[in-house]
Amino acid sequence: MDVLVDLQKLYDSRGFTPEHLYKDSVAKTLTSTLAYGTPAMYGITGTVLSSRKMIAYNLIQNSIDEAKGAARIQIIADKYADPALAKKMHRHVGEELKHSKQFLQLIKATGFQVEEGDLDTEAVEEVLDFEDDLRAFICRVHSIEIRSWTVLRMYQEVLGERRFPEFSDEALPVLDDIMQDEINHVFYTGVQIDEWLREDPSLQPTLDECFAHTNRETWQDMASMTRWLADNFDDALGDGDGEIELPATSFVVGEMGPPTLT
């Protein structure tokens, strides 16, 4: 996927034309070195979605991460956003919580079920004990939402191949619904950052670093995932009932939990 071209098409479809500072930032960061725009990312995504067990674990990760994201957006919106931006962020919170529930509900279509373990209070406190500058936070959210939008499209393509037809029948309409929200998240954060850059060009290095951080993080998570698969491929990619040790990366499983599969 050419993420830069796709992003421009998204903005064009909504009549939005960013000014040069935003354009310069995305032009130098959404390039051929972008982890989540590479064939490698598509290949890992396809590998994860080639096993019912790995699909189920990935759905757990997505459910957890959406809930974590919602909590942090709520914290920053309530502390720092002006009323207009807070309204958009609060809508974002509701949509993230909706996605969390949607991903969790899809697990049953894989043939697995989720059992809730004991609440990890330390992990919860880590999420809730959160502080960030509003503008830096929105820059970080924007970079992550562009990644989420891109990877979700990969999910749609892979599931469209219908390796597991019954799961695809359940999942694809849900992903279509989530996709509309993801596009809105990319759009409103991009518009907000462009507005801030017009007022204060000194924000640009922060935006550049947020894109770079998300890219580095994604390359690291891809490497962690492939290392883990090298040690666990028999159980991870098979459809048996045996338990597997989860990889230590947020790309594969979120930090809050600990739900388990049965």
pTM summary value: 0.89
Range of the domain at 35: 3-261
Alpha helix (H) ranges present in 81-203? Answer: 83-106, 121-128, 134-160, 165-199
Query: Is pLDDT larger for residue 125 or for residue 174?
Result: 174
* Contact indicator for 53, 239 with CB cutoff of 8 Å: yes
CATH no. for residue 167?
A: 1.20.910.10
Give residue 127's pLDDT: 57
Q: Which residues pair with 261 in a beta bridge?
A: 114
Q: Encoding tokens for residue 201? A: 């060009």
Rounded-to-integer distance, Cα 218 and Cα 143, Å: 11
Q: Which amino acid is at 172?
A: L
Give residue 255's pLDDT: 34
Domain count, the chain: 1
The band of 58, judged by pLDDT with boundaries at 50, 70 and 90, is confident
The band of 253, judged by pLDDT with boundaries at 50, 70 and 90, is very low
* Contact indicator for 109, 166 with CB cutoff of 8 Å: yes
Q: Encoding tokens for residue 168? A: 């695809």
Quick check: 249 pLDDT over 50?
no
Q: Which amino acid is at 196?
A: W
The band of 242, judged by pLDDT with boundaries at 50, 70 and 90, is low
Quick check: 245 pLDDT over 70?
no
Mean pLDDT of 92-111: 93
Give tens-digit pLDDT for 163-201.
999 999 999 999 999 999 999 999 999 999 999 999 999
The mean pLDDT value of the chain amounts to 86
